[in-house]
Amino acid sequence: MASAAQRNIRSISYAKYGYFFILPFFLVYCFFQVWPLINTFILSFYGNGQKVEDFIGLDNFRALLFGTSTTGMGRTAKAIHETFIQTLGNTFIVWIGNFIPQICLSLALAVWFTDSKLKIKGKGFFKIVMYMPNIITAASVAALYLSLFAESEYGSVNNLLMSAGIIDSPIKFVTGCWQSRGMIMFIQCWMWFGNTMIMLMSGIMGLNPSLFEAANIDGASSGQVFRKITLPLLRPIMLYTLVTSMIGGLQMYDIPYLYKKGTQRNEYTRTVAVFIYEHFREKMPNPNYGFSAAASVILFFITIILGSFAFAMNRDKDEAMKKKERKAYAKALKAKQKGLGGMEI
């Protein structure tokens, strides 16, 4: 009886339920993500401000990338080009300045935390504390640092440094070029190193422990273990971290946007995401959809190129090795056949 029922059930096709179940996701995704993406591409061919309805072809891209225009943007094109190039540079500088210290610190911490030979007390506590900055609202973090590092002598840090006699006049933590960039790098690093550390830790703990044991028995130093075992095996996870951090870096918005003195933003920390937002949102009655959309499209392609480049780099090595193995195998097979053939003769 049961087997008959079972057979009966097997013969029913349930495929249509699969479509039902994933349908809401795809409907919503197409409506709220795919169409807006296409819409962004479309808008990038249209004008700005009052002329938002006019089709101007590739002029927005021309303006952003080269500062030229065929539809008479003239001076505006030049200015927008300079700002855009600067924002690209800012994004890159701030991302590098936050990523390198962050990955070094996280990697070191992850290795130390997972090293069974070292007995560090309170590991759980440290992990919880180090992840905490990541959970706090970025807007509040920016507000907190702005208050602590305010530029007048009333700012806590300037106040402390001045009363200790280290400096004579307040440091321009918010409007200075490298001071403000440094602060944003520091805040980003402060917020994200715990997260990166935990990801790398889970990666290290997923590695085969017998490798580490064998290395220990062979008397490898911890530096050797790190360079010869941990680092090579961790490559896929490092790569994932690199790619996600890169994409996150390209979108860096909250802190650079909010870290400003009153209402005046300084030009040294304006990232691409802030540039996009300023043009389509802050100029609201007459938004510059064209410039923002074109910048978004450029950002989109940069993301794709960087992402695929990173993935290709990772895959190539493995694939090359597999290819080599396959070749060697084919060769061996051939030799074997030859050998057998020879015997036959």
Q: State the minimum distance, in angstroms, from the CB of residue 126 to other proteins.
A: 5
Q: State the minimum distance, in angstroms, from the CB of residue 317 to other proteins.
A: 21
Residue 31 DSSP symbol: I
User: b/e per residue, 189-226, with b = 16+ CB within 10 A?
Assistant: bbbbbbbbbbbbbebbeeeeeeebeebeeeebeeeebb
Q: State the minimum distance, in angstroms, from the CB of residue 238 to other proteins.
A: 13
Cβ proximity to other proteins, 76 vs 251, nearer residue: 251
Cβ proximity to other proteins, 37 vs 167, nearer residue: 37
Single-letter code of the amino acid located at 166: I
Find out whether 64 and 84 touch, Cβ atoms under 8 Å: yes
Cβ proximity to other proteins, 63 vs 142, nearer residue: 142
Q: State the minimum distance, in angstroms, from the CB of residue 82 to other proteins.
A: 21
Closest CA to 187 of 254, 247, 240, 89: 254
Distances (CA, A) of 36 to 42, 280, 343: 9, 14, 70
Distance separating the N- and C-terminal Cα atoms of the chain = 63
Give the CA angle between residues 190, 192, 198 to the nearest 5°: 120
Q: State the minimum distance, in angstroms, from the CB of residue 334 to other proteins.
A: 35
Cβ proximity to other proteins, 74 vs 206, nearer residue: 206
Residue with tokens 């950002």: 299
* DSSP-derived secondary structure for 49-92: GGGTTSB-TTHHHHHHHHS--SSS-THHHHHHHHHHHHHHHHHH
Cβ proximity to other proteins, 153 vs 325, nearer residue: 153
Helix (H, G, I), strand (E, B) or coil at 252: coil
Helix (H, G, I), strand (E, B) or coil at 285: coil
Q: State the minimum distance, in angstroms, from the CB of residue 241 to other proteins.
A: 8
Cβ proximity to other proteins, 212 vs 280, nearer residue: 280
Q: State the minimum distance, in angstroms, from the CB of residue 345 to other proteins.
A: 49
Cβ proximity to other proteins, 77 vs 204, nearer residue: 204
